[in-house]
Amino acid sequence: MDAYLKNFGECLQKEPPFCGAECPFHMDMHGFIEKIRKGMWSAAFKTYRNAVGFPRVAAALCHAPCKSVCPLSERGGAVEMALLERACLSFAKDLGATSYNVPAKRGRIAVVGAGAGGLACALRLSAKKYNVEIFEKEDHVGGGLCEILPPDLLAREIEEQFKHEEYELRLSCEIENRSFLNERGFDAVCVATGEGGYDFGLLRAEGDKGDRYCLRDGNTAWFACGALIGDDGIYALSGGLYMGIVIDNFLKTGNLFYPPNAAATRMVLDAARLTDAPAVFPQNGEGYTEDEARGEAFRCLKCQCDACKLYSDLCDFTGKWPLRIRDEIAATTLPGVSEIKATPAKRLLSASNTANICREICPAEIDLEGLILEGRRSMHKQDKAPWAFHDFWLRDMDFADGPEAALCMAPAAAGTCAYAFFPGCQLGAGDPRLVEAAYDALLEKHPDTALLLRCCGAPAEWAGNEDKNAEAVAEIRDAWRGLGEPVMLFACPSCMEILGRRIPEMPLRSLYETLADRGANVPDAGVSAAAPCAPCGEWAIFDPCAARRNAHIKSAVRKLASEAGCKLTPLPVQERVTRCCGYGGQPSAASPEYAAFVAEKRASESALPYIVYCANCKDIFIKAGKECKHILEILFDPPGAVLADKNASLNSPGVPFRLATVTERRHNRAELKRSLLEKYWNGSSADQADRADQDESAARPRLKIGEALLVQMDEDRILEEDVREVVDFCERTGRKVYSEISASYSGYRKIGHMSYWVEYRPTDSEDEIELLRAYTHRMEIALEAVWNGVKTNVDM
């Protein structure tokens, strides 16, 4: 966990924008622009004045160095920041200086020179309520500014900005040595005597931290700024303000040395933010109207390193930056009792994808998703993980790896196997015929291809259960070795990515690369195709997040789709930044709203139907109402072709595709195993399983479930088998409550971590029960019974 948290120290979120770094005053450009956009002229003016000290002077001196670094320079023209600053002076209703109610501070400061640098330093320190004295050898203030600005403007501005401050001004008072000020008990001296002025030895002073112009003489610290050290015009003004901050810091900490007045930025702007936007120029040729100024402000990109907010669905959905999410995860995973400490990210940890998109798009390679996974592991180790968010998936994984669905068989006709097909648990659950068709195609090309049906362990990894995941991976490794360590052919990119990482010695290849090797006539394997495949329209291929770095899979799928007659149009964002469909990490139980939000974003990227090669992506998009087909459907169910051993195509024309329910998905896995055993291995195990299932079903009443309830059960991930178990339990034990109003029974039973409730009633048929309601919750009901005077917990 510490390594992931440390990685966030490189986050660029708070790096200044290009213009802010280039600005001599390092003004808050984002705040300034936002206030102008809203027409808040007085607020914008305050932002400007607080940054520059003397707003009219700064506006007159500013040569807009920010324009040289504006990303819009070649996209319609740099933002006219200088004109926006002057617009504030024109439209702000209150241009007066602010009176700050700050208690007086201890510390006497002398400012030698009343030019731009000296006045700025004196203004900053007097506003902080230090005792400030200004010494000027001439009989007036302003220094070199008097040669640049109109005298009345300069005088009015100096008077305005100092009107609330207390200070002493000594004109016609030239200081010629340090002892004069040292003897008068000044704690610090700012020397701003102008170009060629007396430097009091400061220009020859070199500290051990660089050539900063500072030294200590007795109890007095001396600093230099302004034209004396080479700053002129706007830079002398900004340098003086900065020197005020430096002296303030010295008086608080005693630290003599200071960093340069520079704010280099490491910020990286995502290219997607750049759009052509013509600059707004004032129609009168002099200054903006209010509407013109706001229009120019809206051109500003408000540059910020925000690729995470642009591409991370979690940041977008929650409105939180990675640094905020990091802090919440750190607080949540901190060891301790959750009842007495905050756990702000307990749901967020489970309600997020784990597709590593932040690490891919972040210039600093911040691994937000890696932190989330590590947080899940930490919560699991502390036994604080919200198990309800992952319980269904872990039980589903157990079923896929159990005797009803798992299968590891070498080809009956081959003594050894060079290949093994690993379709993954979700492809067969959604449509087992696709697995069978793909295996037929593989056997035609490679008769020595084995078959391995089971889960890759993703649910355990995503739940943070490392022990369960390691156990699943160990079983897969043993099965692979038992087959002679063949090349594994994967239909699921997620399975391929996970097992490639967990079993690095295993040779891997995607099913689609192997099928693409066959050339353009893929459908002839396992498919009756009397006529050539007809063009199947215009599509967009949606690449799954697990294939982000695998160019070979992407290329193979595009080749297969093109050869099948599909016209392909790239997705504008997904082709460049491969993001998750919303399934990865299985966030839907913790936050259905977030899962739907992600699915809608991916589905709406194009109006074209999608071709996918991840079964999870297909399920997500079909549920979101997006027209979508798996590449295997394109290959093995083209127009005019049907599966060799079926009498109808995978999706009959005119019949809308319906996703299998959670119950049907389990049945599909079991049916796939039975079908494959019967087709390739004489079906002895399948026959025994069928007979056992038939005997068990015959002894139990049928469940009558309405269509609306079936839909609700599927959304809530309630299996018909679990409902059956609760009903059987209630009937067997008599632990049920009768309602005379509905003439129905209610009862519950805890299965795994969840409590399942049902409401049911008998029908006119003796072998049928009608289910009226079914729901689950995470509460455990503790009942006590008294037997012979002793309280005993009742097992429900």
> One-letter amino acid identity for 377?
R
Q: Tell me: do 516 and 406 sit in the same domain.
A: yes
**pLDDT digits over 128-143, tens only?**
999 999 999 999 999 9
- Token pair in block for residue 427: 């492809």
For the chain, the average pLDDT equals 89
Residue 682 lies in a domain: no
Q: What is residue 746's three-state secondary structure?
A: strand
d(Cα 223, Cα 710) in Å, to the nearest integer? 79
Total-model pTM: 0.84
The pLDDT of residue 273 is above 70: yes
Residue 4's pLDDT is what? 84
Of the residues 189, 221, 253, which one is the last residue of a structural domain?
A: 253
Residue 506 lies in a domain: yes
Could you give the residue ranges of the DSSP H alpha helices within 23-141? 29-37, 41-52, 55-61, 81-91, 116-127
Residue 9 lies in a domain: no
d(Cα 209, Cα 734) in Å, to the nearest integer? 84
Q: Tell me: do 286 and 332 sit in the same domain.
A: no
Residue 336's pLDDT is what? 76
Q: Tell me: do 158 and 295 sit in the same domain.
A: no
Q: Tell me: do 325 and 429 sit in the same domain.
A: no
Of the residues 383, 417, 436, which one is the last residue of a structural domain?
A: 383
Q: State the Cα angle at 705 between 700 and 708, rounded to 5°.
A: 165
Q: Tell me: do 648 and 574 sit in the same domain.
A: yes
Q: Tell me: do 334 and 411 sit in the same domain.
A: no
The pLDDT of residue 519 is above 80: no
Of the residues 343, 361, 383, which one is the last residue of a structural domain?
A: 383
Residue 4 lies in a domain: no
- DSSP labels for 679-723? HHSTTHHHHHHHHHHHHHHHTSPEEEE-HHHHHHHHHTT--HHHH
Question: What percent of the chain clears pLDDT 70, i.e. is strictly above it?
Answer: 89
**pLDDT tier at 581, thresholds 50, 70, 90:** very high
Residue 534's pLDDT is what? 41
Q: Tell me: do 378 and 396 sit in the same domain.
A: no
Residue 527's pLDDT is what? 38
Q: Tell me: do 444 and 509 sit in the same domain.
A: yes
**Which of 517, 488, 510, 533 shows the shortest CA–CA distance to 633?**
533
CB 249 within 8 A of CB 242: no
Q: Tell me: do 475 and 600 sit in the same domain.
A: yes
* Count of other CB atoms within 10 angstroms of residue 183: 10
Residue 685's pLDDT is what? 54
**pLDDT tier at 684, thresholds 50, 70, 90:** low
**pLDDT tier at 652, thresholds 50, 70, 90:** very low
**pLDDT digits over 712-738, tens only?**
999 999 999 999 999 999 999 999 999
**pLDDT tier at 609, thresholds 50, 70, 90:** very high
Conformation bin of residue 129: beta by default, left when phi > 0, alpha when psi is -120 to 50: left
Q: Tell me: do 162 and 294 sit in the same domain.
A: no
d(Cα 776, Cα 755) in Å, to the nearest integer? 6
Residue 696 lies in a domain: no
d(Cα 478, Cα 485) in Å, to the nearest integer? 9
CB 450 within 8 A of CB 421: yes
Residue 260's pLDDT is what? 84
- Token pair in block for residue 572: 């504008």
**pLDDT digits over 484-497, tens only?**
999 999 999 999 99
Residue 13 lies in a domain: no
Q: Tell me: do 633 and 727 sit in the same domain.
A: no
Sheet holding 768-777, edge to edge: 702-705, 768-777, 754-762, 744-751, 737-739
- Bridge partners (DSSP) listed for residue 792: 785
Question: What percent of the chain clears pLDDT 90, i.e. is strictly above it?
Answer: 76
Domain count along the chain:
5
Q: Tell me: do 421 and 485 sit in the same domain.
A: yes
Residue 518's pLDDT is what? 64
Residue 792 lies in a domain: no
Question: Which structural domain range is residue 344 located in?
Answer: 307-383
Residue 101 lies in a domain: no
Residue 343's pLDDT is what? 83
The pLDDT of residue 521 is above 80: no
Torsion of CA 418, 423, 425, 429, to 10 degrees: -140
What CATH number is attached to the domain comprising 748?
Answer: 3.30.2310
Compute the radius of gyration of the chain from its Cα atoms. Answer: 37
**pLDDT digits over 624-646, tens only?**
999 999 999 999 975 434 333 33
| Greater pLDDT, 383 or 535 | 383
**Which of 475, 480, 421, 434 shows the shortest CA–CA distance to 672?**
434
**pLDDT tier at 753, thresholds 50, 70, 90:** confident
Q: Give CA separation, 514 vs 434, 541, 656, in Å.
A: 16, 19, 31
The pLDDT of residue 523 is above 60: no
